[in-house]
Structure 1
């Protein structure tokens, strides 16, 4: 995981940042802590940014099989693309 993986979509779009921006980063870090994988990581910075802007969030069974529904729900609530 690189530092670009925790960048919120509003940062990429040069929109104002808020508490939701920080909560996005917390959601990414929680995903990584529970699975060891980045939810939006790509092979390049550009690919990572593209994945973030599309915000396609998956919870594959091989990574989340032993993770509680409550934890998954929390991650989903933290990783909201347009929180306003």
Structure 2
């Protein structure tokens, strides 16, 4: 979210990025991807993502919890 808002980058930004990378590695999908750039930016700003069963049916709750703990908008 800091990048979109042109805010300074922090450790929290890096942790968010680890969450995105982990989500992609486990699912092969992007957590915030929308149909347009604006929709993607909105999804990021509102931390709007899902663990779709199609991609996460075999993913442990522990792994999903790890991702959720990294997707913190204002830590």
- Please state how far the C-alpha of 1:16 moved relative to its aligned partner: 2.5
Instruction: Provide, for residues 12-54 of structure 1, a one-character-per-residue CA deviation record: whole Å limited to 9, x for no partner.
Output: 2222321010110110011011001001012332221111011
Instruction: Give the TM-score of the pair, scaled to structure 1.
Output: 0.80
Identify the match of residue 18 of structure 1 among 1, 10, 13: 10
| 2:50 matched residue in structure 1 | 58
- Given that 2:43 and 2:49 are in contact with CA atoms closer than 8 Å, whether structure 1 keeps it comes out as no
5+ long unaligned stretches in structure 1: 1-8
After TM superposition, the score normalised by the length of structure 2 is 0.88
Q: How many residues align?
A: 75
Superposition RMSD on alpha carbons, in Å? 1.2
| Alpha-carbon separation, structure 1, partners of 2:55 and 2:30 | 11
Give the whole-Å Cα distance in 2 for the aligned partners of 1:39 and 1:62. Answer: 13
Q: Please state which structure has a larger fraction of its residues in helix.
A: 1
Unaligned stretches of 5+ in structure 2? Answer: none
Of 49-58 and 9-18, the range deviating more from structure 2: 9-18
